[in-house]
A and B are shown apart, each in its own frame.
Chain A
């Protein structure tokens, strides 16, 4: 099987976000970048699928800045076979990203039997790229996947919907599977894996190489700003059992009469 995984580098979840000077994006100079957390589940599922299907290869693809290829090297160290980087700014819109991923997959010369992605990137939170990519490649997709079993190129997938309910899908390869937390436990890269990763092939393309131009931009962002801070709230001391009942009654009263939320 030709297995592809699409990954993204995003700011660490601990990062305090600051808008840049002209409000067109965020300040990126001192950010620690990590592999998008949901993509780790996608890489792991790709590797599990490879292990179950001898002769398979895992190709990891990323669209992003050229300076830092750490997320790709991490995926290679975990066990992916080769990698493709499409060089671009880190704030492309979803349409351009999906089109670049499609172009990169096609340029690899391999037809994807299955594509794994994270269910969303935790930076722009758009939840668009997996479905867009599947649509552009005209293959079926299942997103927010928390269960994945494969046999003979057919997948049984559990997709999480409202209230913790699960939709069970059956789909034959080729398909795109967008992974959620809970699907598996991503492995750590071993030291030999990290050493080997340095020698694995990493192809680099420009956006133009994969057929993407500025005419493909669909979404324009501006006016990045921090959300308004709330005024300081009221704090009540209730460690002492003697005051707990009166404190709780007062807070409930405030919820009803001041905040008017119940």
Chain B
């Protein structure tokens, strides 16, 4: 049995769902959760149901906004005092930035974006994709503890069993230290929807979208089923969509339950970025497009005709 800390983020009083996915896989270990700032009482109860023994709210000066140095300093002190063997986090924008710096401060190893793992006898072994998912490998961590691991959202799946851990809420005072790179301002994104890396359903458009304005029909489809809109590199390079929407080897690697590829031929780099989607629907006029080799359901047709019909059909049942 290992002593484990799961680092989480609280946004709008909610815990990111990847935290519950991680807790589900850690059953049988001694698991605490920590977040910077106040963890709401409701979240503490919910985390306890998934196995968190203690839920720590880390508080101190200069922690109201994220900074890699401030968060890393605060967590270093807390993790060191807690004697944790492993520190897990979801692979979010914040954790991708923070956890490597933190691991280095402990001279410790880190496994990034694992898609599965075991903790046999308190020892971690994980699986992670490399080359944007063109290849998988087993990953183990050596050297000084704690060992650090980030987990890709949606990869493990939500656990079903609920256990009744204590779920003690505890406050801890931490020190952010000197912060040299500070956030001055946050510019809101165009989308209020879940990020592609966390989305459960993604509707993506490719070169066949022809122009940026045509993404409107994908937005309407996405609204009907609660999806986030993505794009292929061809669509991004043609200026139809920003890079933040790009799925693929030089964009985002995604793992939704449902991926709907519209007018995407399926270049190797795109297939790499979306191949771990549980179910893939492809709409394309070319019956020989490579995307059809990866699709669970392929529709050979014109996306400008099919997508609006699809939107109406989803509206009937959602």
User: What is A's interface to B at a CB cutoff of 8 Å?
Assistant: 11, 13-17, 19, 23, 26, 37-38, 93-95, 98, 122-132, 134-136, 139-144, 146, 156-172, 175, 180-182, 217-227, 230, 232-239, 241, 244-245, 247-249, 251-252, 254-256, 259, 261-262
User: What is B's interface to A at a CB cutoff of 8 Å?
Assistant: 66, 68-69, 72, 92-94, 96-98, 100-105, 108-113, 129-143, 179-195, 197-198, 201, 225, 242-246, 249-251, 253, 257-258, 268-269, 275-276, 278-281, 285, 287, 292-302, 305-306, 309-310, 313-314, 317-318
A195 CB to closest chain B CB, in angstroms?
Answer: 30
Q: Using Cβ atoms and an 8 Å threshold, which residues of chain B touch A157?
A: 181
- Is B136 within 8 A of A11, CB to CB? no
- Is B281 within 8 A of A162, CB to CB? no
Q: Which of A132, A175, A221, A248 contacts B181 (CB 8 A)?
A: A175
- Is B97 within 8 A of A131, CB to CB? yes
Nearest B residue to A95, CB-CB: B109
Is chain B's interface secondary structure helix, strand, loop, or mixed overall? mixed
Is chain A's interface secondary structure helix, strand, loop, or mixed overall? mixed
Q: Which of B108, B136, B185, B301 contacts A218 (CB 8 A)?
A: B108
Known A233-B280, A238-B300, A262-B314; contact A140-B180, beta-carbon cutoff 8 A: yes
Known A161-B94, A164-B189; contact A252-B310, beta-carbon cutoff 8 A: yes
A163 CB to closest chain B CB, in angstroms?
Answer: 4
B14 CB to closest chain A CB, in angstroms?
Answer: 13
Q: Using Cβ atoms and an 8 Å threshold, which residues of chain A touch B294?
A: 230, 233
- Is A224 within 8 A of B296, CB to CB? no
Report the Cα distance A83→B100, complex, angstroms: 26
Q: Using Cβ atoms and an 8 Å threshold, which residues of chain A touch B298?
A: 233-236
Q: Using Cβ atoms and an 8 Å threshold, which residues of chain B touch A162?
A: 92-93, 189, 194-195, 197-198
Q: Which of B112, B278, B287, B317 contacts A127 (CB 8 A)?
A: B112
Q: Using Cβ atoms and an 8 Å threshold, which residues of chain A touch B305?
A: 241, 244
- Is A167 within 8 A of B243, CB to CB? no
- Is A160 within 8 A of B244, CB to CB? yes
Report the Cα distance A169→B280, complex, angstroms: 38
| Most A CB within 10 A of own CB, among B135, B188, B197, B243 | B135
Q: Using Cβ atoms and an 8 Å threshold, which residues of chain B touch A163?
A: 189-195, 244
Known A13-B249, A262-B258; contact A225-B301, beta-carbon cutoff 8 A: no
- Is A181 within 8 A of B258, CB to CB? no
Nearest A residue to B72, CB-CB: A135
Q: Which of A17, A158, A175, A219 contacts B131 (CB 8 A)?
A: A17
Report the Cα distance A94→B300, complex, angstroms: 44
Nearest A residue to B249, CB-CB: A13
- Is B309 within 8 A of A248, CB to CB? yes
Q: Which of A131, A141, A245, A259 contacts B309 (CB 8 A)?
A: A245
Known A218-B108, A234-B298, A239-B300; contact A123-B137, beta-carbon cutoff 8 A: no
B113 CB to closest chain A CB, in angstroms?
Answer: 7
Report the Cα distance A165→B187, complex, angstroms: 6
Q: Which of B100, B105, B244, B300 contacts A128 (CB 8 A)?
A: B100
- Is A144 within 8 A of B97, CB to CB? yes
- Is B97 within 8 A of A13, CB to CB? no
